[in-house]
Amino acid sequence: MCETLSEPLSQVMTLLGKRWTGVVWSTLMQGPVYFSDLKRGIPGINDRILNERLVELVDLGLATRTVIDGRPIRVRYELTGRGAAIRPALDELTRWAQEHLQPPAR
């Protein structure tokens, strides 16, 4: 018989399973970053998707959004403690992927 995933695991897998979420989240692990720098640092992502992913992380309390007055106005994003707390899990997933997702030797 197949058991269902626990609700917390299901939630995090749903969040990380959205295209670009893991990349955006991992990029924010490097420290506070402006929207424009995020856009440049994540090749292939468009403004709409980047904004959607950032709004979701902010709404979940995993990141903060700070508007910096000036010309031009800049918007800075930073992980909260809750958002940064996933680092050990992502590090483990990275190690697992390096070991198990490599193409088989021919």
By the 8 A CB rule, do 42 and 20 touch? yes
Q: In this predicted model, what pLDDT tens digit does every residue of 31-51 receive, in sequence order?
A: 999 999 999 999 999 999 999
Q: What residue numbers bound the domain in which 86 lies?
A: 15-99
Does some domain include residue 34? yes
Does some domain include residue 10? no
Q: In this predicted model, what pLDDT tens digit does every residue of 75-84 receive, in sequence order?
A: 999 999 999 9
Q: In this predicted model, what pLDDT tens digit does every residue of 14-32 receive, in sequence order?
A: 999 999 999 999 999 999 9
Q: Indicate the pTM of the whole model.
A: 0.86
Does some domain include residue 53? yes
CA distance 51 to 106: 42
104: left (phi over 0), alpha (psi -120 to 50) or beta: beta
**How many domains, in total, are found in the chain?**
1
Does some domain include residue 59? yes
CA distance 57 to 64: 8
CATH number, residue 19: 1.10.10.10
Q: How confident is the model at residue 89 (pLDDT cuts 50, 70, 90)?
A: very high
